[in-house]
Amino acid sequence: MTEDQKEKIEKFLQKGHMFRSFDNFKINERQDDNENTYEIEGVACVFNQPTVLFEHNGYEIKEVVDRNAFKDADISDVIFNYNHGGRVFARTRNDSLHLEVKEDGVHVRLRFDPNDEGHMQLYRDIQKGLIDKMSYRYTVTDDGEVYDPETHTWTVLKIKKLYDVSAVDIPAYDSTSIYARSLAYLQKEAKEKLDSDIKRRRVRQRNIAEAIKIELDLENNRN
Q: pLDDT by residue for the chain (223 residues), tens digit each?
A: 667 766 777 777 777 788 887 877 887 776 666 678 888 888 888 899 988 877 777 888 888 999 999 999 999 999 999 888 888 999 999 999 999 999 999 999 998 988 999 999 999 998 888 888 888 889 999 889 888 888 888 899 999 999 999 888 876 444 444 445 555 555 565 566 556 666 666 666 676 666 666 766 676 777 6
Contact 182, 56 (CB under 8 A): yes
| 36, amino acid identity | N
Residue 25 lies in a domain: yes
Task: Give the SS3 label for residue 93.
Answer: helix
Task: Show the domain range for 37.
Answer: 3-175
Q: What is the predicted pLDDT for the residue at 175?
A: 47
Helices (H), the chain: 3-14, 117-127, 176-222
Distance from first CA to last CA of the chain, Å, rounded? Answer: 85
Residue 53 lies in a domain: yes
How many domains does the structure of the chain reveal? 1
| 108, amino acid identity | V
Q: What is the predicted pLDDT for the residue at 176?
A: 44
The Cα–Cα gap between 22 and 20 comes to 7
Residue 184 lies in a domain: no
Residue 211 lies in a domain: no
- pTM of this prediction? 0.71
Q: What is the predicted pLDDT for the residue at 99?
A: 93
If you ran DSSP here, which 8-state letter would residue 44 be given? E
If you ran DSSP here, which 8-state letter would residue 80 be given? E
Residue 18 lies in a domain: yes
Residue 218 lies in a domain: no
Contact 38, 112 (CB under 8 A): yes
Residue 189 lies in a domain: no
Nearest to 133 by CA among 104, 99, 174: 174
Q: What is the predicted pLDDT for the residue at 168?
A: 85
Residue 8 lies in a domain: yes
Q: What is the predicted pLDDT for the residue at 67?
A: 95
